[in-house]
């Protein structure tokens, strides 16, 4: 071993196997499973429980609701459920509800007849029909328009619907899998998502942990992505400096596995020798504290709400209540109070009345509320 060896983490090219249950996939996986393996590398920080849940629910026809931050691999978990189900030889049809304009989503899901609307020059089958006998994956279900949700509820629950412009009922046999990065209970409180649809989709919930909650998996993910990308680009990356691996492991990765994969691809492109060269400066810059990180932001929100409750003598609604002072809806404020464990009764006898500034009103709107 050379003298320089202690400063490097030896990079092992993967003939590794990433099993789900008893299944094994070799070094050269078939194309149908390659992207699936990318996100399912590792078994730490709650991912083991997720894979166990996939094994349990996949053989059934139960509807599954997958939740998790952007980039955690919700689509790949949906694909795993389909591939491990008795429907694996049939279609897995995917729809990103956030990527299709609301006016076109109904036609996309349920199809239309010729002449149903301007521009409908021919009959079109919807995604539900295309998924008949297989699985339908509705990604970003939280972005589906409220007016379309009753029809979706009927299709999910009764497995029947009508195409646009037709009175004929079509019956299908579809296994439903939905996913979202949004807080659906909060959307229900705000009147943006139907409660009955939520309960129908939430038969078997699966929550995918963020990458920062399973840092033990990052070295294995880095090795896998370096191997994959360097093979595609014809590069020979044989080692990763220890400091580089430490920096990658300690980075928060707010974009999760997707961000990590894209960063590793850039690093492979920049590497000129056999050692992985990572732009560590970018990691340090991105790791600097944000002006409103989740913890500090919640603390600021808590302070603002308590000040408003004190000023309103514990009243939430009505004239002069905390909701009016903060210029937010009563239901929105109550939902935030529940999440922050704030009881209005604790401030009903407070005599102080601090003024709530416009800056505080702005702080009441979290990034996820916009």
Q: Mind listing the pLDDT tens digit for each residue in 182-216?
A: 999 999 999 999 999 999 999 999 999 999 888 88
Answer for the pair 307, 350: CB distance below 8 angstroms, yes or no: no
Please give the pLDDT value at position 18: 28
For residue 359, pLDDT over 50 is answered with no
Q: How is residue 124 annotated by DSSP?
A: B
Residue 30 — pLDDT band, cuts 50, 70, 90?
very low
270 vs 115 pLDDT, higher one = 270
Please give the pLDDT value at position 61: 95
Per this entry, what is the length of the chain? 370
Backbone CA torsion sign across 319, 322, 328, 333: negative
Q: pLDDT tens digits for 218-275?
A: 998 899 899 999 999 988 888 888 888 888 998 999 899 999 999 999 999 999 888 8
Q: pLDDT tens digits for 117-168?
A: 888 788 899 999 999 999 999 999 999 999 999 999 999 999 999 998 889 9
C-alpha distances in Å from residue 241, one per residue of 216, 236, 260: 17, 15, 17
295 vs 16 pLDDT, higher one = 295
Residue of 159, 157, 179 lying closest to 81 (CA atoms): 179
Answer for the pair 67, 253: CB distance below 8 angstroms, yes or no: no
How far apart CA 328 and CA 330 sit, in angstroms, is: 6
Which domains are assigned to the chain?
47-207 (3.40.50.300), 215-286 (1.10.8.60), 294-369 (no CATH)
Answer for the pair 149, 197: CB distance below 8 angstroms, yes or no: yes
34 vs 215 pLDDT, higher one = 215
How far apart CA 49 and CA 71 sit, in angstroms, is: 18
How far apart CA 120 and CA 117 sit, in angstroms, is: 6
Answer for the pair 308, 348: CB distance below 8 angstroms, yes or no: no
Q: What 3-state DSSP class applies to 95?
A: strand
Please give the pLDDT value at position 49: 87
Q: Residue 69 belongs to what H/E stretch? A: none
Please give the pLDDT value at position 119: 82
Answer for the pair 221, 58: CB distance below 8 angstroms, yes or no: no
For residue 16, pLDDT over 60 is answered with no
Mind giving me the DSSP string for 252-305?
Answer: --TTHHHHHHHHHHHHHHH--SSB----HHHHHHHTSPPTT-HHHHHHHHHHHH
């Amino acid at each position: 071993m050379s003298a320089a060896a202690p400063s490097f983490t030896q990079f092992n090219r993967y003939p590794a196997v990433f099993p789900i249950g008893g299944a094994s996939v070799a070094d050269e996986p078939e194309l149908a499973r390659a992207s699936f393996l990318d996100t399912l590398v590792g078994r730490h920080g709650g991912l083991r429980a997720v894979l166990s849940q996939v094994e349990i629910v996949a053989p059934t026809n139960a509807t599954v609701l997958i939740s998790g931050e952007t980039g955690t691999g919700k689509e790949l978990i949906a694909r795993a459920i389909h591939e491990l189900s008795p429907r694996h030889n049939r279609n897995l049809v995917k729809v990103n509800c956030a990527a299709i304009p609301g006016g076109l989503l109904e036609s996309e899901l349920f199809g239309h007849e010729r002449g149903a609307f301007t521009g409908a020059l021919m009959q079109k089958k919807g995604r539900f029909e295309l998924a008949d006998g297989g699985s339908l994956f509705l990604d970003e279900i939280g972005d589906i328009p409220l007016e379309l949700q009753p029809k979706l509820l009927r299709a999910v629950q009764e497995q029947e619907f009508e195409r646009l412009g037709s009175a004929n009922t079509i019956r299908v046999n579809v296994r439903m899998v939905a996913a979202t990065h949004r807080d659906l209970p909060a959307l229900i409180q705000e009147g943006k998502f139907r409660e009955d649809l939520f309960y129908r989709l939430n038969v078997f919930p699966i929550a995918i942990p963020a990458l920062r909650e399973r840092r033990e998996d990052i070295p294995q993910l880095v090795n896998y992505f370096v191997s994959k990308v360097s093979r595609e680009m014809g590069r020979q990356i044989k080692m990763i400096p220890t400091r580089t691996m430490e920096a990658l492991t300690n980075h928060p990765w707010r974009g999760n596995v997707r961000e990590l994969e894209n960063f590793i691809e850039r690093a492979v492109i920049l590497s000129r020798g056999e050692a992985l060269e990572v732009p560590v400066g970018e990691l340090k810059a991105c790791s600097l504290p944000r002006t409103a990180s989740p913890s500090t932001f919640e603390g600021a929100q808590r302070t603002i709400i308590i000040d408003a409750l004190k000023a309103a003598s514990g009243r939430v609604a009505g004239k002069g209540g905390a909701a009016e002072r903060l210029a937010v809806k009563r239901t929105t404020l109550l939902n935030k109070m529940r999440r922050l464990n704030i009881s209005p009764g604790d401030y009903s006898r407070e005599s102080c009345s601090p003024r709530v500034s416009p800056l505080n009103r702005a702080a009441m709107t979290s990034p996820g509320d916009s």
